[in-house]
């Protein structure tokens, strides 16, 4: 599911991939407006499925981190207000969600973005962060 959810550098919010053209992507905002916009080759577009967070040992896929946030929040919107929270509060929250996160390479802005994206996804009914095939592969 996270493969079709995109972020565009320099633009707020998240977007869902609707279609692909020859030199552009057709995206729909993940909010109440459901506005469709084009994203061209020069736009820096990245799939949430391709993002990972640094830990002390290795990198953890964003889907797994979002799943940890969902577990902590019982599937509800995040209890912390990322706009008003202090740096210490944000890092304490991140330590609860992902205890082994790399405190040197994961910045406060990264934690704010994680919480913001989680809130957007949950508010718009996207709650499946880890693909079913990945779960089956880890069980075997």
Angle formed at CA 51 by CA 60 and CA 34, multiple of 5 degrees: 130
- Kind and range of the H or E element at 93? helix 87-97
How does pLDDT run across 6-45, given as a tens digit for each residue?
Answer: 999 988 899 999 999 888 999 999 988 889 999 998 999 9
State the pLDDT at residue 31.
85
| Cα R_g (the chain), whole angstroms | 16
How does pLDDT run across 87-135, given as a tens digit for each residue?
Answer: 999 999 999 999 999 999 999 999 999 999 999 999 888 888 877 554 4
The two three-digit tokens of residue 14, written as one number: 């998240």
- Domains of the chain: residue spans and CATH: 2-48 (2.30.30.730), 51-139 (1.10.10.1650)
How does pLDDT run across 44-99, given as a tens digit for each residue?
Answer: 999 999 999 999 989 999 999 999 999 998 888 888 999 999 999 999 999 999 99
The two three-digit tokens of residue 126, written as one number: 């996207």
């Amino acid at each position: 599911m996270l493969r079709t959810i995109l972020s565009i550098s320099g633009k707020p919010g998240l977007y869902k991939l609707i279609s692909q053209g020859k030199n552009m992507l057709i995206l729909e905002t993940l909010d109440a407006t459901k506005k469709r916009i084009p994203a061209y080759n020069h736009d820096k577009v990245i799939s949430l499925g391709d993002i990972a967070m640094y830990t002390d040992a290795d990198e953890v896929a964003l889907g797994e981190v979002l799943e940890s946030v969902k577990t902590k929040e019982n599937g509800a919107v995040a209890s912390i207000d990322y706009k008003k929270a202090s740096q210490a509060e944000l890092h304490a929250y991140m330590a609860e969600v992902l205890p082994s996160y790399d405190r040197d390479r994961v910045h406060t802005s990264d934690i704010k973005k994680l919480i913001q994206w989680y809130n957007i996804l949950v508010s718009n009914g996207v709650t499946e962060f880890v693909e079913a095939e990945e779960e089956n592969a880890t069980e075997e």
